[in-house]
Amino acid sequence: MIEIKNLHKSYHMGKNSLHVLKGINFTVAEGEMVSIMGSSGSGKSTLLNILGILDEADDGTYTLDGTLIKNLNEKVAARYRNKFLGFIFQSFNLINYKSALDNVSMPLYYQGVKRNIRTEKAMHYLEKVGLADWASHLPSELSGGQKQRVAIARALASDPKVLLADEPTGALDTKTSYEVMELIQGINDEGKTILIVTHEEDIAHMTKRIVNLKDGLIIDDSLVNQVRAKTEAYV
């Protein structure tokens, strides 16, 4: 599903150049649930941004679902993001003046899906994350965990190949974190490929494979026994 070879990325700040990724090689097969770990500055967020076509590598190749991602213009990049990827952010990044339902249906709007179908689909995903009753609420009326679940529903709405989560539990307490992870595990169980960037050990161990980054290089890449998040009723 994801194949990257010899990926390099540097940031230039004035005269200083910061070599963040120094030759990353790694592949993710369909249906995998991988966590990318590393201390801050290890390059994990940069890697995720490149994977998410939000940023472009200086060197190396990135193939997503058989499509080479290189030198894309904004238009094509936007289309690929919409088609291939679903994003989950640490700070949720919901549009605060739109209801939960409208937030979830937004990727479908950009796909050109008709309104009634869009609403139907968005409602389906909201049900899936257990927030059907909150469809008409604004993000400001939801708790952190609920917001993240709306964000997950939004990420799923366009039926992407890969879900990319950047510290999805970073802003949540442990209990809520586990609930969100349980939801993500459920999605993975249905066959969706998921990449999670995290620096929390317990969250990482809820995935099936941990990739450890340090100073722009992969120092460890190993499969782990997945710890299931506790099954509890949704709040």
Partner 1 sequence: MFNIERWQEIFEAIRKNKLRTFLTGLSVASGIFILVILLAIGEGMQNGVAKQFEKDATNRISVWTNVTSVEYKGLNPGRIIEMDNRDYEMAVNKNSDKLEYKSGVYSRWGQLTTYKKENGSYRVEGVRGDYQFLENATLVAGRYINQGDLNNFEKITVIGNQVYLDLFKGENAIGEYVDISGIKFKVVGIYTDPGGEREETRLFIPLTTAQRVFNAGNKLRSLAFTLIKHDNYKDALAASEAFSAELESDLKAAHTISPTDDRAVNVNNTLEKAKKFYDLNNMIRWFFWGVGICTIIAGVVGVSNIMLIIVKERTKEIGIRKAIGAQPWSIIGMILHESIFVTAVAGFVGLMFSMLLLQLVGPFIETEYIRNPSVDFSVAITTVIILVVAGAVAGFFPAYRAANIKPIEALRDE
Binding site for partner 1 (CB under 8 A): 49, 52, 54-55, 74-75, 78-79, 81-83, 87, 89, 91, 93-95, 97-98, 106-107, 109-111, 115, 154, 158
Instruction: Output 26 or 89, the one with its CB closest to partner 1.
Output: 89
Single-letter residue type at 207: T
For the CB of residue 80, give the shortest distance to partner 1 in the complex, in Å.
Answer: 9
Instruction: Output 33 or 106, the one with its CB closest to partner 1.
Output: 106
Instruction: Output 10 or 111, the one with its CB closest to partner 1.
Output: 111
* Continuous H helices in the chain: 44-51, 74-84, 100-111, 115-128, 144-157, 174-189, 201-204
For the CB of residue 63, give the shortest distance to partner 1 in the complex, in Å.
Answer: 20
Q: Is residue 48 left, alpha or beta, with left meaning phi > 0 and alpha meaning psi from -120 to 50?
A: alpha
For the CB of residue 98, give the shortest distance to partner 1 in the complex, in Å.
Answer: 7
Instruction: Output 52 or 216, the one with its CB closest to partner 1.
Output: 52
DSSP result, 165-194: EESTTTTS-HHHHHHHHHHHHHHHHTT-EE
Whether residue 37 contacts residue 31, with contact meaning beta carbons closer than 8 Å, is answered with no
For the CB of residue 196, give the shortest distance to partner 1 in the complex, in Å.
Answer: 17
Rounded CA Rg of the chain = 18
